[in-house]
Homo-oligomer: A and B are copies of this chain.
Amino acid sequence: MKPRHIHRSEDCRAVSEILQRVGDKWTVLVVGKLGKGRMRFSELRTAVGGISQKMLTTTLRGLERDGFVTRTQYPTIPPRVEYELTDLGFELLKPVHALGEWARKNTARVNEARRKFDAACPEGRSGSHF
């Protein structure tokens, strides 16, 4: 193993890995909702909106596996399952919120940049097929 004094490429990989976990289509939205308190499966599904049952299950599974949420199942009829952020989950929420704040502040700038870019290259380098 490499000594501890350098954290260049390897760290970037780690960052990339975390970002890909957090950066998939639904994870942030789910974690965000759960940040407000424990929720049931259906609650979550409604709250997030637009997520399929499969994706919610998959996402929750991933989060559970990584130790970000806990799954509590009540042996009732009908079944009742609640999900809640762990401490680790809440800690993850902090830097994610920071990024979220950044996103809120700079969405306009990004959109503006996109608009300009798109306006500058309507049929520019990539041969449009359409």
Chain A: residues with Cβ within 8 Å of the partner, total of 49
Question: Are B23 and A67 touching (Cβ within 8 A)?
Answer: no
Asked, given contacts A12-B32, A20-B25, whether A91 binds B65 with beta carbons under 8 Å apart, the answer is no
Q: Interface on chain A toward B: helix, strand, loop, or mixed SS?
A: helix
24 A-B pairs whose Cβ atoms sit less than 8 Å apart in the complex: A11-B100, A12-B29, A13-B29, A15-B32, A15-B96, A15-B100, A16-B26, A16-B29, A17-B103, A18-B103, A19-B22, A19-B23, A20-B25, A22-B23, A64-B117, A65-B117, A66-B110, A66-B117, A67-B110, A88-B113, A92-B102, A94-B102, A95-B101, A98-B99
**The 3 A-B residue pairs with the shortest CB-CB distance in the complex, in nearest-first order:** A23-B23, A67-B113, A18-B103
